[in-house]
Protein backbone atom coordinates (compact mmCIF):
# COMPACT_ATOMS: atom_id res chain seq x y z
CA UNK A 1 0.00 0.00 0.00
CA UNK A 2 1.02 3.62 -0.59
CA UNK A 3 0.00 5.20 2.70
CA UNK A 4 -0.27 9.01 2.69
CA UNK A 5 -2.39 9.33 5.83
CA UNK A 6 0.56 10.20 8.08
CA UNK A 7 4.32 9.95 8.41
CA UNK A 8 3.75 7.81 11.52
CA UNK A 9 3.11 4.78 9.28
CA UNK A 10 6.79 4.26 8.40
CA UNK A 11 8.19 0.78 9.14
CA UNK A 12 11.68 0.25 10.55
CA UNK A 13 14.15 -0.45 7.72
CA UNK A 14 16.21 -3.63 7.59
CA UNK A 15 19.31 -1.67 8.68
CA UNK A 16 17.40 -0.18 11.61
CA UNK A 17 16.14 -3.60 12.73
CA UNK A 18 19.68 -4.92 12.51
CA UNK A 19 21.03 -2.11 14.70
CA UNK A 20 18.28 -2.82 17.24
CA UNK A 21 19.28 -6.46 17.57
CA UNK A 22 22.86 -5.48 18.42
CA UNK A 23 22.05 -2.65 20.88
CA UNK A 24 23.74 -2.73 24.28
CA UNK A 25 21.03 -2.46 26.94
CA UNK A 26 20.51 -1.95 30.68
CA UNK A 27 17.71 -0.78 32.93
CA UNK A 28 16.91 2.78 31.85
CA UNK A 29 14.77 3.53 34.92
CA UNK A 30 17.99 3.12 36.89
CA UNK A 31 19.87 5.18 34.27
CA UNK A 32 21.83 2.07 33.26
CA UNK A 33 21.04 1.72 29.57
CA UNK A 34 24.13 2.72 27.56
CA UNK A 35 22.25 3.04 24.26
CA UNK A 36 19.63 5.33 25.80
CA UNK A 37 22.29 7.42 27.53
CA UNK A 38 24.35 7.76 24.33
CA UNK A 39 21.29 8.73 22.30
CA UNK A 40 20.09 11.30 24.86
CA UNK A 41 23.58 12.86 25.00
CA UNK A 42 23.96 12.96 21.20
CA UNK A 43 20.68 14.79 20.63
CA UNK A 44 21.11 17.15 23.59
CA UNK A 45 24.50 18.17 22.20
CA UNK A 46 23.12 18.67 18.70
CA UNK A 47 20.21 20.76 20.05
CA UNK A 48 22.40 22.90 22.30
CA UNK A 49 20.57 21.75 25.44
CA UNK A 50 22.14 20.35 28.61
CA UNK A 51 20.06 17.18 28.95
CA UNK A 52 17.50 14.92 27.27
CA UNK A 53 14.94 12.28 28.25
CA UNK A 54 13.67 9.41 26.07
CA UNK A 55 9.91 8.86 26.21
CA UNK A 56 7.61 6.44 24.42
CA UNK A 57 5.53 9.11 22.66
CA UNK A 58 5.37 12.77 21.80
CA UNK A 59 2.14 13.08 23.75
CA UNK A 60 3.89 11.89 26.90
CA UNK A 61 6.88 14.11 26.17
CA UNK A 62 4.69 17.24 25.87
CA UNK A 63 2.70 16.23 28.96
CA UNK A 64 5.89 15.69 30.99
CA UNK A 65 7.06 19.13 29.89
CA UNK A 66 3.79 20.79 30.93
CA UNK A 67 3.75 18.98 34.28
CA UNK A 68 7.36 20.00 34.91
CA UNK A 69 6.81 23.66 33.99
CA UNK A 70 3.40 24.18 35.63
CA UNK A 71 1.77 23.68 39.01
CA UNK A 72 -1.91 22.83 39.51
CA UNK A 73 -4.07 25.82 38.50
CA UNK A 74 -1.46 27.39 36.26
CA UNK A 75 -1.95 28.10 32.59
CA UNK A 76 -0.29 27.36 29.25
CA UNK A 77 -0.77 29.63 26.22
CA UNK A 78 -1.07 27.54 23.02
CA UNK A 79 -2.45 27.72 19.49
CA UNK A 80 -6.07 26.64 19.11
CA UNK A 81 -5.11 24.07 16.48
CA UNK A 82 -1.97 22.92 18.28
CA UNK A 83 -1.38 19.22 18.88
CA UNK A 84 -1.09 19.90 22.62
CA UNK A 85 -4.59 21.40 22.71
CA UNK A 86 -6.43 19.22 20.18
CA UNK A 87 -4.70 15.90 19.90
CA UNK A 88 -3.41 14.87 23.31
CA UNK A 89 -6.61 13.77 25.04
CA UNK A 90 -6.83 16.86 27.23
CA UNK A 91 -3.97 15.41 29.30
CA UNK A 92 -2.84 18.74 30.74
CA UNK A 93 -6.28 19.23 32.34
CA UNK A 94 -7.05 15.57 33.02
CA UNK A 95 -3.75 14.73 34.68
CA UNK A 96 -2.13 18.06 35.57
CA UNK A 97 -4.98 20.41 36.58
CA UNK A 98 -3.37 22.80 34.09
CA UNK A 99 -5.57 25.08 31.99
CA UNK A 100 -4.90 25.93 28.37
CA UNK A 101 -5.45 29.44 27.02
CA UNK A 102 -5.77 29.10 23.26
CA UNK A 103 -5.03 31.73 20.63
CA UNK A 104 -5.86 31.71 16.88
CA UNK A 105 -3.09 30.99 14.39
CA UNK A 106 -1.89 33.48 11.80
CA UNK A 107 -1.67 32.24 8.20
CA UNK A 108 1.96 31.19 8.75
CA UNK A 109 1.05 29.14 11.83
CA UNK A 110 2.39 31.65 14.35
CA UNK A 111 0.47 33.22 17.26
CA UNK A 112 0.48 37.01 16.86
CA UNK A 113 2.93 38.68 19.25
CA UNK A 114 0.34 41.26 20.35
CA UNK A 115 -2.20 38.52 21.06
CA UNK A 116 0.42 36.64 23.06
CA UNK A 117 1.29 39.71 25.06
CA UNK A 118 -2.39 40.36 25.82
CA UNK A 119 -3.08 36.73 26.79
CA UNK A 120 -0.59 36.77 29.68
CA UNK A 121 -2.67 37.40 32.80
CA UNK A 122 -1.66 40.01 35.35
CA UNK A 123 -0.93 39.17 38.97
CA UNK A 124 -4.58 39.18 40.07
CA UNK A 125 -6.13 36.53 42.29
CA UNK A 126 -9.05 36.16 39.84
CA UNK A 127 -6.78 34.74 37.14
CA UNK A 128 -4.99 31.51 36.57
CA UNK A 129 -1.27 32.19 36.72
CA UNK A 130 0.13 32.29 33.17
CA UNK A 131 3.19 30.07 33.30
CA UNK A 132 4.18 28.75 29.88
CA UNK A 133 4.10 29.55 26.17
CA UNK A 134 4.01 26.43 23.96
CA UNK A 135 4.64 26.76 20.21
CA UNK A 136 4.67 24.06 17.51
CA UNK A 137 7.21 23.77 14.66
CA UNK A 138 6.48 22.62 12.05
CA UNK A 139 2.78 23.47 12.37
CA UNK A 140 0.69 21.63 9.74
CA UNK A 141 3.90 21.35 7.76
CA UNK A 142 4.68 25.07 7.98
CA UNK A 143 8.03 26.20 9.36
CA UNK A 144 7.68 29.00 11.93
CA UNK A 145 9.94 31.89 10.90
CA UNK A 146 13.06 32.03 13.08
CA UNK A 147 12.68 35.78 13.67
CA UNK A 148 9.25 34.99 15.04
CA UNK A 149 10.28 32.19 17.44
CA UNK A 150 13.12 34.36 18.78
CA UNK A 151 10.79 37.35 19.28
CA UNK A 152 7.94 35.29 20.79
CA UNK A 153 10.19 33.46 23.26
CA UNK A 154 12.01 36.67 24.25
CA UNK A 155 8.68 38.41 24.86
CA UNK A 156 7.39 35.43 26.87
CA UNK A 157 10.51 35.43 29.02
CA UNK A 158 10.17 39.20 29.61
CA UNK A 159 6.63 38.57 30.83
CA UNK A 160 7.87 35.89 33.23
CA UNK A 161 6.77 32.83 31.22
CA UNK A 162 8.77 29.72 30.43
CA UNK A 163 8.80 28.48 26.81
CA UNK A 164 8.21 25.02 25.32
CA UNK A 165 8.47 23.90 21.70
CA UNK A 166 6.49 20.94 20.37
CA UNK A 167 9.03 20.04 17.71
CA UNK A 168 7.55 16.70 16.66
CA UNK A 169 8.69 17.51 13.11
CA UNK A 170 11.51 19.95 13.92
CA UNK A 171 13.96 17.98 11.75
CA UNK A 172 11.71 18.73 8.76
CA UNK A 173 12.04 22.44 9.63
CA UNK A 174 15.81 22.05 9.88
CA UNK A 175 16.15 20.36 6.49
CA UNK A 176 13.73 22.80 4.82
CA UNK A 177 15.54 25.92 6.09
CA UNK A 178 19.13 24.77 6.47
CA UNK A 179 19.01 25.96 10.10
CA UNK A 180 20.64 23.67 12.65
CA UNK A 181 18.66 21.90 15.35
CA UNK A 182 20.37 24.16 17.91
CA UNK A 183 19.30 27.30 16.03
CA UNK A 184 15.71 26.07 15.89
CA UNK A 185 15.73 25.26 19.63
CA UNK A 186 17.11 28.68 20.62
CA UNK A 187 14.82 30.61 22.95
CA UNK A 188 12.98 27.52 24.20
CA UNK A 189 13.47 26.25 27.74
CA UNK A 190 12.24 22.81 26.67
CA UNK A 191 11.79 21.06 23.32
CA UNK A 192 10.04 17.82 22.38
CA UNK A 193 11.18 15.87 19.30
CA UNK A 194 9.64 12.77 17.65
CA UNK A 195 11.64 10.00 16.00
CA UNK A 196 8.65 7.87 15.01
CA UNK A 197 7.35 10.09 12.22
CA UNK A 198 9.29 10.91 9.08
CA UNK A 199 12.50 9.73 10.73
CA UNK A 200 11.17 6.18 10.68
CA UNK A 201 11.80 4.82 14.19
CA UNK A 202 9.08 2.54 15.56
CA UNK A 203 8.82 4.34 18.94
CA UNK A 204 10.51 7.29 20.59
CA UNK A 205 10.39 10.94 21.52
CA UNK A 206 12.94 13.07 23.33
CA UNK A 207 12.38 15.91 25.75
CA UNK A 208 15.25 18.41 25.94
CA UNK A 209 16.05 21.07 28.51
CA UNK A 210 18.34 22.08 31.35
CA UNK A 211 19.78 19.38 33.63
CA UNK A 212 17.47 20.42 36.48
CA UNK A 213 14.40 20.51 34.21
CA UNK A 214 15.12 17.06 32.81
CA UNK A 215 15.74 15.62 36.29
CA UNK A 216 12.29 16.84 37.32
CA UNK A 217 10.72 15.63 34.06
CA UNK A 218 12.27 12.21 34.70
CA UNK A 219 10.19 11.94 37.88
CA UNK A 220 7.01 12.78 35.94
CA UNK A 221 7.87 10.22 33.26
CA UNK A 222 7.94 7.54 35.96
CA UNK A 223 4.67 8.84 37.44
CA UNK A 224 3.03 8.65 33.99
CA UNK A 225 4.14 5.06 33.53
CA UNK A 226 6.73 5.97 30.91
CA UNK A 227 9.76 4.52 32.68
CA UNK A 228 11.01 1.81 30.32
CA UNK A 229 13.56 -0.86 31.13
CA UNK A 230 15.83 -2.17 28.32
CA UNK A 231 14.83 0.79 26.17
CA UNK A 232 18.19 0.72 24.39
CA UNK A 233 16.52 -1.34 21.64
CA UNK A 234 14.33 1.68 20.90
CA UNK A 235 17.06 4.26 21.44
CA UNK A 236 19.25 2.38 18.96
CA UNK A 237 16.51 2.66 16.33
CA UNK A 238 16.11 6.38 17.06
CA UNK A 239 19.88 6.92 16.98
CA UNK A 240 20.07 5.15 13.61
CA UNK A 241 17.28 7.45 12.37
CA UNK A 242 19.19 10.49 13.62
CA UNK A 243 22.30 9.42 11.71
CA UNK A 244 20.69 8.13 8.51
CA UNK A 245 17.22 9.58 8.02
CA UNK A 246 17.51 13.32 8.64
CA UNK A 247 19.08 14.59 5.38
CA UNK A 248 16.74 12.39 3.35
CA UNK A 249 13.73 14.36 4.64
CA UNK A 250 14.57 16.59 1.66
CA UNK A 251 13.28 13.74 -0.54
CA UNK A 252 9.95 13.85 1.32
CA UNK A 253 9.76 17.60 0.74
CA UNK A 254 10.51 17.09 -2.97
CA UNK A 255 7.83 14.40 -3.10
CA UNK A 256 5.29 16.70 -1.44
CA UNK A 257 6.05 19.31 -4.11
CA UNK A 258 5.72 16.65 -6.83
CA UNK A 259 2.39 15.53 -5.36
CA UNK A 260 1.06 19.11 -5.05
CA UNK A 261 2.05 19.94 -8.63
CA UNK A 262 0.56 16.70 -9.92
CA UNK A 263 -2.74 17.10 -8.08
CA UNK A 264 -3.01 20.77 -9.07
CA UNK A 265 -3.22 19.58 -12.68
CA UNK A 266 -6.23 17.31 -12.01
CA UNK A 267 -9.60 18.93 -12.81
CA UNK A 268 -11.80 19.08 -9.69
CA UNK A 269 -8.92 18.99 -7.22
CA UNK A 270 -7.78 22.11 -5.40
CA UNK A 271 -4.39 22.16 -3.70
CA UNK A 272 -4.75 24.48 -0.70
CA UNK A 273 -1.26 24.30 0.80
CA UNK A 274 2.08 22.53 0.49
CA UNK A 275 4.78 22.86 3.11
CA UNK A 276 7.67 20.55 4.02
CA UNK A 277 6.20 17.02 3.86
CA UNK A 278 2.51 17.92 3.83
CA UNK A 279 -0.03 18.71 1.13
CA UNK A 280 -3.57 19.85 1.88
CA UNK A 281 -5.95 19.20 -1.00
CA UNK A 282 -9.67 19.79 -1.36
CA UNK A 283 -11.65 17.14 -3.25
CA UNK A 284 -15.32 17.67 -4.23
CA UNK A 285 -17.31 16.46 -1.23
CA UNK A 286 -19.74 14.41 -3.31
CA UNK A 287 -16.81 12.35 -4.62
CA UNK A 288 -14.89 11.68 -1.43
CA UNK A 289 -16.29 8.24 -0.62
CA UNK A 290 -16.03 6.93 -4.16
CA UNK A 291 -12.58 8.46 -4.60
CA UNK A 292 -11.38 6.84 -1.38
CA UNK A 293 -12.69 3.46 -2.52
CA UNK A 294 -11.12 3.87 -5.98
CA UNK A 295 -7.76 4.75 -4.45
CA UNK A 296 -7.88 1.91 -1.96
CA UNK A 297 -8.53 -0.47 -4.84
CA UNK A 298 -5.36 1.00 -6.44
CA UNK A 299 -3.39 0.33 -3.23
CA UNK A 300 -3.43 3.94 -2.02
CA UNK A 301 -4.50 5.03 1.44
CA UNK A 302 -5.57 8.61 2.06
CA UNK A 303 -8.43 9.98 4.12
CA UNK A 304 -10.13 11.69 1.15
CA UNK A 305 -12.32 14.49 2.51
CA UNK A 306 -13.30 18.06 1.73
CA UNK A 307 -9.81 19.03 2.93
CA UNK A 308 -7.39 16.14 2.97
CA UNK A 309 -3.95 16.08 4.54
CA UNK A 310 -1.46 14.05 2.51
CA UNK A 311 1.87 13.29 4.14
CA UNK A 312 5.05 12.10 2.43
CA UNK A 313 7.62 9.99 4.26
CA UNK A 314 10.37 7.38 4.20
CA UNK A 315 8.12 4.66 2.76
CA UNK A 316 6.85 6.67 -0.23
CA UNK A 317 8.98 7.07 -3.38
CA UNK A 318 8.74 9.60 -6.21
CA UNK A 319 7.52 6.82 -8.49
CA UNK A 320 4.72 6.04 -6.02
CA UNK A 321 3.76 9.73 -5.93
CA UNK A 322 3.34 9.58 -9.71
CA UNK A 323 1.08 6.54 -9.28
CA UNK A 324 -1.05 8.45 -6.77
CA UNK A 325 -1.44 11.41 -9.12
CA UNK A 326 -2.30 9.07 -11.98
CA UNK A 327 -4.90 7.24 -9.87
CA UNK A 328 -6.58 10.49 -8.78
CA UNK A 329 -6.47 11.72 -12.36
CA UNK A 330 -8.00 8.46 -13.61
CA UNK A 331 -10.82 8.83 -11.14
CA UNK A 332 -11.70 12.37 -12.18
CA UNK A 333 -11.18 12.02 -15.90
CA UNK A 334 -12.20 8.37 -16.29
CA UNK A 335 -15.30 7.16 -18.12
CA UNK A 336 -17.27 6.46 -14.93
CA UNK A 337 -16.70 9.91 -13.47
CA UNK A 338 -19.34 12.62 -13.77
CA UNK A 339 -17.56 15.46 -12.06
CA UNK A 340 -19.52 18.34 -13.55
CA UNK A 341 -22.91 16.84 -12.64
CA UNK A 342 -22.05 16.32 -8.98
CA UNK A 343 -20.25 19.55 -8.25
CA UNK A 344 -22.45 22.01 -10.15
C1 LIG B 1 2.70 13.39 16.37
C2 LIG B 1 2.79 14.65 17.11
C3 LIG B 1 3.02 14.66 18.48
C4 LIG B 1 3.21 13.40 19.29
O5 LIG B 1 2.32 12.41 19.03
P6 LIG B 1 2.49 10.90 19.52
O7 LIG B 1 1.60 10.19 18.60
O8 LIG B 1 2.03 10.88 20.93
O9 LIG B 1 3.93 10.51 19.41
C10 LIG B 1 3.13 15.88 19.10
N11 LIG B 1 3.02 17.02 18.41
C12 LIG B 1 2.81 17.05 17.09
C13 LIG B 1 2.73 18.35 16.38
C14 LIG B 1 2.67 15.86 16.39
O15 LIG B 1 2.46 15.90 15.08
List pLDDT tens digits, range 125-171: 999 999 999 999 999 999 999 999 999 999 999 999 999 999 999 99
C-beta of 166 in contact with ligand 1 (< 6 A): yes
In whole angstroms, give the CA distance from residue 77 to residue 127. Answer: 13
CA of 58 to the centre of ligand 1 (A): 5
pLDDT value at 83 more than 90:
yes
Asked if residue 88 has its Cβ within 6 Å of ligand 1, the reply is no
pLDDT given at position 173: 98
CB of 7 within 6 A of ligand 1: the answer is no
If 0-12 CB within 10 Å is exposed, 13-18 middle and 19+ buried, where does residue 67 land? buried
Share of the chain above pLDDT 70, in %: 97
Distance from the CA of 59 to the center of ligand 1, in angstroms?
Answer: 6
Whether the per-residue pLDDT at 339 is higher than 70: the answer is: no
Q: How far is the CA of 169 from the centre of ligand 1 (A)?
A: 8
pLDDT of residue 303: 85
**Residue range 187-202: mean pLDDT, rounded:** 98
Statement: residue 343 has pLDDT above 50 = no
Q: How many residues are given for the chain? A: 344
For ligand 1, atom 2: residue with the closest CA = 168
Check residue 337 and give its pLDDT: 55
Which of 83, 202, 204 maximizes ligand 1 atoms within 8 Å of its Cβ, making it the mutation to test the pocket?
83
Residue of 168, 195, 198, 200 with the most ligand 1 atoms within 8 Å of its CB, for mutation: 168
pLDDT above 90: residue 341: no
90 CA from centroid of ligand 1 (Å): 14
Q: Does 194 sit in the ligand 1 pocket, CB within 6 Å?
A: yes
Among 59, 135, 172, 221, which is best to mutate for testing ligand 1, by the most ligand atoms less than 8 A from CB? 59
The residue-averaged pLDDT of 30-36 equals 98
What is this structure's pTM?
A: 0.96
Q: Mean pLDDT over residues 266-279, rounded?
A: 96
| 342 has a pLDDT exceeding 50 | no
Say whether pLDDT at 336 is over 70.
Answer: no
Question: What is the rounded distance in angstroms from the CA atom of residue 131 to the CA atom of residue 187?
Answer: 16
State the closest ligand 1 atom to the C-alpha of 57, by its place in the atom list counted from 1: 9
Enumerate the β-bridge partners of residue 142. 139
252 lines ligand 1 (CB under 6 A): no
C-alpha distances in angstroms, 18 versus 84, 85, 241, 243?
Answer: 34, 37, 13, 15
Output the residue whose Cα is nearest ligand 1's atom 10: 58
pLDDT at residue 254 is higher than 70: yes
pLDDT over 60 (residue 338): no
Is the model's pLDDT at 324 over the cut of 50? Answer: yes
pLDDT greater than 70 at residue 57: yes
Domains identified in the chain and CATH numbers: 10-244 (3.40.640.10), 249-337 (3.90.1150.10)
What integer pLDDT is reported at residue 344 of this predicted model? 35
What would the mean pLDDT of 301-324 be, rounded to a whole number? Answer: 95
Q: Give residue 52's pLDDT.
A: 98
- The sign of the torsion formed by the CA atoms of 253, 79, 3, 237 equals positive
Q: Is the pLDDT of residue 268 over 90?
A: no
Confidence of residue 340 (pLDDT cuts 50, 70, 90): very low
83 Cα–ligand 1 center, Å: 7
| Average pLDDT score, the chain | 96
Does any ligand 1 atom lie closer than 6 A to the CB of residue 101? Answer: no
Which helix (H) or strand (E) segment holds residue 52: the answer is: strand 51-55
Amino acid sequence: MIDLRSDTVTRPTAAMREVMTRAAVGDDVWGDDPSVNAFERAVAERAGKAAALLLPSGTQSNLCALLTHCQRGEEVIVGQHSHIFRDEGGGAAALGSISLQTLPHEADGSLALEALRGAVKGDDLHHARSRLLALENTFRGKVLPRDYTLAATAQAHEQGLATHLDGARLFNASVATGLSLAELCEGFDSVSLCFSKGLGAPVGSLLLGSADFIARARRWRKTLGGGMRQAGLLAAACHHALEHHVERLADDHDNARRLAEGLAGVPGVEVRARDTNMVFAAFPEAHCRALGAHLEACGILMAAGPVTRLVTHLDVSAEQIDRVVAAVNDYFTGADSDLSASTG
